Amino acid sequence: MNKVMMFALAVLLAGCKPAPPADTVESLTTDPERIKEVRRLCREERSKVTDELCLRAAEAANRRFFGDLPEQGGK
């Protein structure tokens, strides 16, 4: 019985993979290339991205355009 439980646990853990890092508005604001890529995906391959990610990319682009950039460390 113990071997069966260990095997089941190993199978469950093998199926788990780490989630991709979430793109926040702040992280997108500091990475203009990522904004471009996400916006391209939103236009051309909408099934690969979520509505929430498209909204975050749009908000990040607006913040960059209107000058509401996050503070850059190291000053």
Kindly report the length of the chain. 75
In angstroms, rounded to a whole number, what is the distance separating the alpha carbons of residues 6 and 72? 48
Higher per-residue pLDDT: 32 or 75: 32
pLDDT band at 12 (very low <50, low <70, confident <90, very high): confident
Give this prediction's pTM: 0.62
The separation between the first and the last C-alpha atoms of the chain, rounded to the nearest angstrom, is 61
- pLDDT value of residue 28: 93
User: If you average pLDDT over residues 9-37, what whole number do you get?
Assistant: 82
In angstroms, rounded to a whole number, what is the distance separating the alpha carbons of residues 54 and 44? 12
Higher per-residue pLDDT: 22 or 19: 22
